[in-house]
Amino acid sequence: MKWVTYRGADGERVGVLSGGQIHALPAGRSLLELIGAGPDVLHSAGEEALQSPAAVVALESVALAAPIPRPPSIRDSLCFLDHMRNCQEATGGGRVLTETWYRIPAFYFACPATVLGPYDDAPMAPGSVWQDFELEVAAVIGTTGKDLSVEQAEASIIGYTIFNDWSARDLQMLEGQLRIGQAKGKDSGVTLGPYLVTADELEPFRRDGKLGLQVTALVNDTVIGSGSTAAMDWTFGEVISYMSRGVTLQPGDVIGSGTVPTCTLVEHLMNPDTFPGWLRDGDVVTLQVEGLGETRQTVRATAEPIPLPPRRDPAAAGPVSGPVSGPHTAPASVRVNPARAKVPYTRGLHEVAEKVWAWTLPDGGYGWSNAGLVAGDGASLLVDTLFDLALTREMLTAMRPITDRAPITDALITHSNGDHTHGNQLLDDSVRIIAAQGTFDEIAHDAGVERLAAIQTADLGPVATPYARERFGHFDFSGITVRNADQTFDRSMQFDVGGREVHLLNLGPAHTAADSVVHVPDAGVLFGGDLLFIGCTPIVWSGPTANWIAACDAMIALDAPVVVPGHGPVTDPDGIRGVRDYFVHIIAQADEAYGKGLSLAEAVDAVDLGEYASWLDSERIVVNMYRRYCELDPDTPAPELLGLFAMQAEWLAKRQS
């Protein structure tokens, strides 16, 4: 039998589904009460409803609630170990599970107060930007029992329903560091429905004692994952037996199976081809399970949570820091960019030549990037957007006195990194976004926003975690959907902005796969993008490093007296020479270390940065040395995901001590 609970005019009503019609019991009955009366009573109540219903209503004409809207308890287990392997791998932990996963079936208690019906809107967890779902099947307990054998546990199941375990991955990751179990990361909702299908009805799907139901999960009607419940490593009988040790299970208790592998977003996190981004307001999540029907829900944004001030760590020096501190506050320890500034290096808009502006953001470290504006008659070119939406809004607002008269018609994106692209979505649809083809391709295949949010919350160990918080805690990566370029070019492009000629040159690959600069000949201004870090250390994401030197030579040859870097204060061709000299110096250091047979770790330990030690973010030598080692020996072992990040933090800690 398929039991439903629906919202009638006179409150919740219970009925049995038959041929699209609900055969309702008299008002005032609940499925929980019927289950509690025992399987025989439930069965005869169903038979009676089918033969002489109190009411008959069409399924489509009513709103279904969860079959048991307020279960006595909800326990969710993790019976598919491949789900855990896939999750671990996607978040950088590899596929090997600790031995305990094979010894006991894992479960946690979920929240009966947030049970949702099969077609109800699904609220996002307040404060989360990593909203996810999980396709599971739930078994519902029919008989009271304690210390059950596996067979008794299996027999105690009265029926099954679909279970969507809504999950906030960022909150889960944060709370996971406390190692005391699930909390707000799993609190936003549990969907049950559309029916409770009694166990006898699913017997045809049982093979070798296992229930084999085909399942499919979709977001906006695109398949995210599929599989079969036959792949459970721990059976319902086993996990329920484990749960009943010393505990009396109650009729109506709900037991989740755990996620069917691939039927959740997080497992796809590192695969840009199958990861559509975290759930957003308006997304529709559909779970289909053979024999159990389908749930279909729209995700809805919720209000920001009420903030709680963090506690001071008595063992930590300096101000309180961490992911709970507000975005856009100044870095915890005041850092000063040591470079000479051609125009005052302050946050905001600076006219660097006639109708050419630089937007600078001290101190030039991670995410504190520059942008630019070139205005002509009735049209402007924007050079890059910024790291998050608030920073970009602040800049576009400050530019408004100029862009009201000369609206932005074109935007050149110098390269793919988020601190130059994340604000693209704030540009008017009419703005033509231009980028080199290599930049377009990198943006199309980037999981950058997700990775950055992971760095904000992940436990990276005692040295790298505070480093990550200090570097990235100031930014707010919520709501970002990177808008890619509308037009691409390969090596160069020339066009007219309101009567002014601008030249675009792709001098990469060096910092990234393609690195474009903007030359405005009539103003003598060059925007160098991230081929230029001034007073802060360049970082080689792509290489080859020798190509970065060639790019510096090409920029020097343009002979522009005013040079706006991607990071750091506005400079001149001497600033470009400084970057060139840095690479000459570190290539020599790397090549010498390699020649002596030093490992990468030994080489970064031994490196002498000379005058470049005073540049901010000098720890990037770790990444730069690694790229050079890869050029010298393509078989240089690749550090694991985020491994280079941790190495930088450790290098810095060592040099500062």
Q: Select 198 or 369, whichever has its Cβ closest to Zn ion.
A: 369
Three-state secondary structure string covering 409-455 = EEEECCCCCHHHCCCHHHCCCCCEEEEEHHHHHHHHCCCHHHHHHHH
Nearest distance, CB of residue 511 and Zn ion, angstroms: 8
Minimum CB distance to Zn ion smaller for 186 or for 567? 567
Give the separation between CA 228 and CA 236, rounded to whole angstroms: 14
Binding status of residue 76 toward Zn ion by CB under 5 A: no
Nearest approach in angstroms of CB 415 to Zn ion is: 8
Choice between 187 and 530, CB closer to Zn ion = 530
Interface characters, 552-571, with Zn ion (x: CB under 5 A):
--------------x-----
Contact, 515 vs 526, CB < 8 A?
Answer: no
> Contact region for Zn ion (CB under 5 A) — 102-110, 412-420, 481-489, 636-644?
412-420
Q: How many beta carbons lie within 10 A of that of residue 272, not counting itself?
A: 15
Nearest Cα neighbor of 20 from 65, 49, 62 is 62
Binding mask 350-389 for Zn ion (x = CB under 5 A): -------------------x--------------------
| Closest to Zn ion by CB, 365 or 524 | 365
Which is nearer to Zn ion, 67 or 566 (by Cβ)?
566
Which of 478, 350, 369 has its CA nearest to residue 416? 369
Which residue's CB is nearer to Zn ion, number 32 or number 539? 539
Q: Are 618 and 537 in contact (CB under 8 A)?
A: yes
Question: Least separation, in Å, of the C-beta of 366 and Zn ion?
Answer: 8
Among 419, 617, 619, 631, binds Zn ion (CB under 5 A): 419
Residue 151 CA: distances (Å) to CA of 208, 233, 256: 14, 16, 18
Contact status: 530 vs Zn ion (CB under 5 A): yes
Instruction: Look at the alpha carbons of 219, 225, 226, 231 in this order and tell me if their dihedral is positive or negative.
Output: negative
Q: Which residues pair with 284 in a beta bridge?
A: 298
Size of the site for Zn ion (CB under 5 A): 5
Quote the least distance from Cβ 411 to Zn ion, whole Å: 16
Give the list of residues 6+ apart from residue 375 with CB closer than 8 angstroms, or none: 355, 356, 357, 402, 403, 405, 406, 497, 498
How many CA atoms lie within 13 Å of 602's alpha carbon, on the beta-carbon side?
9
Our finding on whether 512 is near Zn ion (CB under 5 A) is no
Q: Is 447 or 653 the residue whose CB approaches Zn ion more closely?
A: 447
Q: Which is nearer to Zn ion, 253 or 419 (CB)?
A: 419
Query: How near is the Cβ of 416 to Zn ion at its closest, in Å?
Result: 10
Which residue stretch of 90-98, 126-134, 330-338, 416-424 sits at the interface with Zn ion (rule: CB under 5 A)? 416-424
CB of 419 to Zn ion, least distance (A): 4
Query: Which tokens in the block code for residue 38?
Result: 């025992």
| Least spacing, CB of residue 615 vs Zn ion, in Å | 15
Q: Tell me how far apart the alpha carbons of residues 617 and 30 are, in angstroms, rounded to a whole number.
A: 64
> Whole-number minimum distance, CB 603 to Zn ion, in Å?
25
Q: How far is CA 588 from the centre of its chain?
A: 38
In a 10 Å sphere around its CB, with 0-12 CB exposed, 13-18 middle and 19+ buried, how is residue 204 labelled?
exposed
Nearest CB to Zn ion, comparing residues 159 and 538: 538
Q: How far is the CB of 506 from Zn ion (least distance, A)?
A: 16
**What's the CA gap between 154 and 148, in Å, rounded?**
9
Contacts of Zn ion in 263-282 (CB under 5 A):
none
Residue 566 CB, shortest distance to Zn ion, in Å, is 5
Task: Tell me the C-alpha distance between 657 and 652, whole Å.
Answer: 9
Q: What is the CA radius of gyration of the chain?
A: 30
Residue 350 or 422: the one with the smaller Cβ distance to Zn ion is: 422
Spatial separation of the C-alpha atoms in residues 123 and 187, rounded to whole Å: 10
Minimum distance of Zn ion from residue 263's CB (angstroms): 37
Pick from 536, 568, 549, 556: nearest CA to 510: 549
Q: Which is nearer to Zn ion, 530 or 617 (CB)?
A: 530
The contact set with Zn ion (CB under 5 A) reads: 369, 417, 419, 530, 566
